[in-house]
Chains A and B, each alone.
Chain A
Amino acid sequence: MMRALTAGEVVSRIKSNLGFAWRDNTYRDTFKFGGPETEVRGIATAMFCNFDVVKRASEAGLNMIIPHEDTYWNDRDDISIVSSDPLYKTKVDFMKEHNIVIFRMHDHMHSQRPDFLYVGLARALGLDSKYETEPQSHRFVIPETTLGALASDFQKRLGAHAVRAIGDPKAKVRRVQVGVGYATPAVNSPDVDVVVSGELQETDGGFDSPEYVLDAVSVGITKGWIMLGHAISEEQGMLEMADWVKKFTPEVPVQLIRGGEPFWAPK
Chain B
Amino acid sequence: MKSISRREFVALTAAVPIAVPAILQSRAAPTAQEIVDRIKQKVGGQWKADGVDAFKAGDPMTPVKGIATSAMATLDVLKQAVKAGANFVITCEPTFYSRADTPAPAGARRGGTPAAPDAVFTAKNDFIKNNQIVVWRFSDNWRQHTPDPLSVGLAEALGWAKYRAADDPRRITIPIASLESVASDLKKKLNSRGGIRVVGDPGLNVVKIGLLPGTTPIQSALSMFPLVDAIIAGEVREWESVELARDKVSAGERKGLVLIGRVISENPGMDECAKWLKNVVPEVRTTWIPVEDPYWRPA
User: A-side interface residues toward B, CB under 8 Å?
Assistant: 48, 50-52, 55, 69-70, 73-75, 81-82, 84-85, 87, 90-91, 138-139, 148, 151-152, 154-155, 162-166, 169, 177, 179, 182-186, 188-192, 198-199, 201-216, 218-219, 221, 226-227, 229-231, 259, 262-267
Cα A227 to Cα B194 in complex, Å, equals: 12
Chain B positions 70 through 93: 1 when the CB is less than 8 Å from some CB of chain A, otherwise 0: 001011100100000000000001
Q: A75-B239, A82-B218, A266-B187 are in contact. List 15 more A-B contacts (CB 8 A).
A: A73-B240, A165-B295, A166-B294, A185-B108, A186-B108, A188-B118, A189-B114, A202-B261, A212-B97, A215-B74, A218-B79, A218-B123, A229-B238, A264-B197, A264-B202
Residue of A nearest to B266 (CB): A203
Chain B positions 238 through 266: 1 when the CB is less than 8 Å from some CB of chain A, otherwise 0: 11111111111011010000010111000
* B25 touches A (CB below 8 Å): no
Q: Which of A50, A138, A184, A204 has the most CB of B within 10 A?
A: A204
A211 B243 Cβ-Cβ under 8 A: no
B243 A73 Cβ-Cβ under 8 A: yes
| Residues of the B chain whose Cβ atoms lie less than 8 Å from the Cβ of A189 | 108, 111-114
| Residues of the A chain whose Cβ atoms lie less than 8 Å from the Cβ of B153 | none
| Residues of the A chain whose Cβ atoms lie less than 8 Å from the Cβ of B98 | 204-208
B243 A214 Cβ-Cβ under 8 A: no
18 A-B contact pairs sorted by A residue (CB < 8 Å): A81-B219, A90-B251, A151-B298, A163-B297, A164-B197, A164-B296, A179-B110, A185-B110, A185-B111, A201-B215, A204-B98, A204-B99, A207-B97, A207-B109, A208-B97, A212-B97, A215-B75, A262-B245
Residue of B nearest to A211 (CB): B97
Cα A166 to Cα B74 in complex, Å, equals: 14
B247 A263 Cβ-Cβ under 8 A: no
* B165 touches A (CB below 8 Å): no
A165 B194 Cβ-Cβ under 8 A: yes
Complex partner residue of B295 from A50, A166, A183, A198, CB under 8 angstroms: A166
Residue of B nearest to A210 (CB): B294
Complex partner residue of A50 from B79, B110, B113, B247, CB under 8 angstroms: B247
B112 A191 Cβ-Cβ under 8 A: yes
Chain B positions 192 through 205: 1 when the CB is less than 8 Å from some CB of chain A, otherwise 0: 00111111001000
| Residues of the A chain whose Cβ atoms lie less than 8 Å from the Cβ of B131 | none
Complex partner residue of A264 from B75, B94, B198, B247, CB under 8 angstroms: B198
| Residues of the B chain whose Cβ atoms lie less than 8 Å from the Cβ of A226 | 298
Of all A-B residue pairs in the complex, the 6 with the closest CB atoms, nearest first, are A266-B183, A151-B298, A230-B238, A263-B197, A202-B262, A186-B108
A205 B222 Cβ-Cβ under 8 A: no
* B124 touches A (CB below 8 Å): yes
* B158 touches A (CB below 8 Å): no
* B299 touches A (CB below 8 Å): yes
Cα A3 to Cα B106 in complex, Å, equals: 57
Residue of B nearest to A78 (CB): B218
Complex partner residue of A188 from B120, B183, B242, CB under 8 angstroms: B120
* B180 touches A (CB below 8 Å): yes
Q: Which of B180, B198, B296 has the most CB of A within 10 A?
A: B296
Min distance, Cβ B83 to any Cβ of chain A, angstroms: 14
Q: Which of B75, B97, B99, B119 has the most CB of A within 10 A?
A: B97
* B184 touches A (CB below 8 Å): yes
| Residues of the B chain whose Cβ atoms lie less than 8 Å from the Cβ of A85 | 222, 225-226
Cα A267 to Cα B114 in complex, Å, equals: 39
Cα A265 to Cα B245 in complex, Å, equals: 16
| Residues of the B chain whose Cβ atoms lie less than 8 Å from the Cβ of A191 | 112
Chain B positions 170 through 193: 1 when the CB is less than 8 Å from some CB of chain A, otherwise 0: 000000000010011011000000
Cα A114 to Cα B225 in complex, Å, equals: 40
B197 A162 Cβ-Cβ under 8 A: yes
Given contacts A177-B111, A207-B109, A218-B75, contact A48 B298 (CB under 8 A): no
| Residues of the A chain whose Cβ atoms lie less than 8 Å from the Cβ of B245 | 262
Cα A69 to Cα B239 in complex, Å, equals: 7
Given contacts A73-B241, A186-B108, contact A262 B246 (CB under 8 A): yes
Residue of B nearest to A169 (CB): B296
* B52 touches A (CB below 8 Å): yes
Given contacts A50-B247, A151-B298, A188-B108, contact A87 B253 (CB under 8 A): yes
Min distance, Cβ A104 to any Cβ of chain B, angstroms: 12
B108 A219 Cβ-Cβ under 8 A: no
Residue of B nearest to A233 (CB): B238
Cα A91 to Cα B93 in complex, Å, equals: 38
Q: Of residues 27 to 42 in B, which have CB atoms within 8 Å of A's CB atoms?
A: none
A216 B120 Cβ-Cβ under 8 A: yes
* B10 touches A (CB below 8 Å): no
B246 A50 Cβ-Cβ under 8 A: yes
A91 B94 Cβ-Cβ under 8 A: no
* B235 touches A (CB below 8 Å): yes
| Residues of the A chain whose Cβ atoms lie less than 8 Å from the Cβ of B52 | 204
